C-alpha cells in the first residue's frame, strides 16, 4: 500500500498527543501533591497547563484530519483527474457531464469502450469515476481494472482512507484530553472518592 508514509505520520501525531497527555499527568500529579495549595489553588495552578495540553492535542487531531484529507485528494486526482491526460479543463468538464448523463452499466460500458477506441482517455476516466460513485457499473469497473491493474492498489488505498475518515470515535480516542482535576490519581473527583 502507498499509505505507509501517511500511517507513519499519523502514528507520530498520535504519539505526540499521548506525550502531551503524559506530560500533563505528571504536572497534575506534582500540583496535586503540593500540600501548600488549597484545592482551589491547585485548580488555578493546573488550569493553564490543562488549556495548553488541550490546545496541543486538538491541533494534532486537526493535523491528522488534514493529512488524511490531503492523501485522499491526491489519490482521487491520480484516479479521476486530468493529470497526464489533458491540459484542457473544459474538455475534462465536458467528459464529466457526458458521464453523469449515462443511465446504466450497459450504456456506460459501451460509451467507455467507444472512448477508448477514439483515444479519449479523459472520457474513459470520467465514466470510470461515475462507476466508482456508487452507480454499480460493474462492467465499467472490471474493464477499467483489467486495462489498468495498478488502479486496484489506488482503490484499495482510497477504501483504507475512507476507514480513517469514518472511524470518528476510534480516531478521536487518540486525542482525548484528560479532564482538569486536582485529584492525586488523575481520576475525576467523583471516582477518586470511590477508591
pLDDT, one tens digit per residue, over 75-103 is 988 887 765 555 577 788 899 999 999 99
C-alpha distances out from residue 188 to 9, 34, 39, 175, 191, Å: 32, 18, 13, 18, 5
Q: What is the pLDDT at residue 195?
A: 38
Average of pLDDT values for 147-157? 91
121: burial class by Cβ within 10 Å (0-12, 13-18, 19+)?
middle
> What is residue 107's three-state secondary structure?
helix
Average of pLDDT values for 139-162? 91
Of residues 170 and 23, the one with the higher pLDDT is 23
pLDDT band for position 190 (cuts 50, 70, 90): very low
Average of pLDDT values for 41-48? 93
Sequence-ordered alpha helix ranges (H) in 34-137: 39-80, 89-100, 105-117, 121-130
DSSP 176: P
Q: Are 96 and 129 in contact (CB under 8 A)?
A: yes
Average of pLDDT values for 132-140? 89
pTM given for the model:
0.74
pLDDT band for position 191 (cuts 50, 70, 90): very low
Given a cut of 70, is residue 114 above it in pLDDT?
yes
Q: Return the percent helix, strand and coil in the chain, to nearest 5.
A: 75, 0, 25
Domain ranges of the chain: 4-189
What does the mean pLDDT of the chain come to? 85
Q: Within a 10 A sphere around the Cβ of 79, how many other Cβ atoms?
A: 19
Amino acid at each position: 500500500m502507498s499509505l505507509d508514509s501517511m500511517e507513519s505520520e499519523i502514528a507520530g501525531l498520535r504519539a505526540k498527543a499521548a506525550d502531551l497527555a503524559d506530560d500533563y499527568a505528571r504536572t497534575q500529579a506534582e500540583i496535586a501533591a503540593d500540600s501548600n495549595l488549597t484545592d482551589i489553588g491547585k485548580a488555578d495552578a493546573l488550569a493553564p497547563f490543562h488549556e495548553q495540553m488541550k490546545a496541543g492535542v486538538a491541533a494534532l487531531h486537526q493535523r491528522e484530519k488534514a493529512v488524511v484529507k490531503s492523501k485522499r485528494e491526491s489519490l482521487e486526482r491520480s484516479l479521476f483527474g486530468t493529470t497526464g491526460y489533458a491540459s484542457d479543463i473544459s474538455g475534462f468538464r465536458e467528459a464529466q457531464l457526458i458521464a453523469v448523463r449515462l443511465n446504466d452499466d450497459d450504456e456506460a460500458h459501451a460509451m467507455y469502450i467507444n472512448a477508448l477506441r477514439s483515444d479519449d482517455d479523459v472520457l474513459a476516466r470520467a465514466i470510470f469515476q461515475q462507476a466508482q460513485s456508487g452507480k454499480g457499473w460493474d462492467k465499467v469497473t472490471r474493464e477499467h481494472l483489467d486495462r489498468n491493474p495498478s488502479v486496484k492498489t489506488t482503490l484499495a488505498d482510497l477504501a483504507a482512507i475512507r476507514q480513517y475518515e469514518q472511524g470518528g470515535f476510534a480516531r478521536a480516542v487518540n486525542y482525548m484530553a484528560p479532564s482538569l482535576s486536582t485529584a492525586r490519581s488523575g481520576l475525576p473527583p467523583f471516582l477518586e472518592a470511590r477508591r
